[in-house]
Amino acid sequence: MTQTIDKVALVTGGSRGIGRQISLDLSARGYAVAIVYAGNTAAAEESVAAIASRGGTARAIIADIADEAAVSAAFDAIEADRGGVDVVINAAGVMPLGRLADLDLAELDRALRTNVRGTLVVDQQAARRVRAGGSIVNLTSSVTRFRNPGNIAYIASKAAIEGITMVLARELRGRDITVNAVAPGAIVTDMLSDFLAADSSGEERARISGQSPLERLGTPEDVSEIVMFLATEARWINGQVLFANGGAI
Ligand SMILES: NC(=O)c1ccc[n+]([C@@H]2O[C@H](COP(=O)([O-])OP(=O)(O)OC[C@H]3O[C@@H](n4cnc5c(N)ncnc54)[C@H](OP(=O)(O)O)[C@@H]3O)[C@@H](O)[C@H]2O)c1
C-alpha cells in the first residue's frame, strides 16, 4: 500500500551531518523532506537515496540560504510539489575559525552571511508560509556559552540566531507555529573534522570529548532526537534555546 504523506519538511543543510540525520528521522516520521544544500550534489543525492531506500519521499534543492530569490524559489517548488510546508529546520551553517586580533574580516562576513542572513532569509519564508500546527527549528551552538577563544566570528553569528529565534516565536503570535533553537556541543560531522584537522596529536579531540561527563563526543542522532521532539511532538516549548551537549561545560 502506498503511504499517504501530508506533512512536509524543509531541512537546510540536509545533505550532510546533523541536517542529514534530521532529514532521515523526519522521513521516518512520515514527512516528505526537501533537502536544501549549497553545492555538494553527491552528498545531497546520497541523502535522498538513503531516504528513498527506507521507503520515504525526499528531494534535494540546491540553494544558497543567504540568497532570498533562491530560497523563495525553493519554497515555491516545495509548495507546488506538496501543497505546503509544515516544518522548517535550519541546519545549514559554516564555522570560520580565528582569534579577533588576527581575524580576516572576510571570514566574519562569511559567518554572518550564511549563519545570520541565511537563517533570517529561510525563517522569513517560513514565517510567511509554514502552516498552522507547524514548527521552525534553528541550529545554534553551545559555543555561545562555552566562549571558546578562536571561534569568535562563529560565536557572534550563532548568538544572533538565538535572538532571531526568540523574536520570531513572538512575531508568529496567533499562527500556532513554534520557533525554537537547538544549541549542540561538539558533534561528529565534517564540520568537527575540519576543526580537528590540524590536531595531529589527538589532544584537542580528547579535550573536547572530556567536556561532557558522559565522556564522548555527540552524534547527529543525539541532536536529531531533540529536534524531532521540538519539531514534531512538543507544542508548549516555544521561543527557547535548548542546549544539548551531554552536560559539557
Ligand atoms: N558539528 C558540530 O560540532 C556542531 C556543533 C554545534 C552546532 N552545529 C551547527 O549545526 C549545523 C549543522 O552542522 P554540521 O556539523 O552538520 O555541518 P556540516 O557537516 O559542515 O554540513 C553543513 C551543511 O550546511 C550546508 N550549507 C553550508 N552553507 C550553506 C549555504 N550557504 N546554503 C545552503 N546550505 C549550506 C552544507 O551543504 P553542502 O553539503 O552542499 O556543502 C551541508 O549540508 C550548523 O548550523 C552548525 O553550525 C554543529
Of 198 and 181, the structure prediction assigns the larger pLDDT to 181
pLDDT per position as a tens digit, 99-146: 999 999 999 999 999 999 999 999 999 999 999 999 999 999 999 999
Q: 70 burial class (0-12, 13-18, 19+ CB within 10 angstroms)?
A: middle
Sequence letter at residue 156: A
pLDDT per position as a tens digit, 134-161: 999 999 999 999 989 999 999 999 999 9
Cα(80) to ligand 1 centroid in Å equals 27
Cα(6) to ligand 1 centroid in Å equals 27
Residue owning the nearest CA to atom 8 of ligand 1: 141
Residue owning the nearest CA to atom 44 of ligand 1: 93
Q: Is 40 near ligand 1, meaning CB less than 6 Å away?
A: yes
**CA 188 to CA 85: how far, in whole Å?**
29
* Contact indicator for 34, 122 with CB cutoff of 8 Å: no
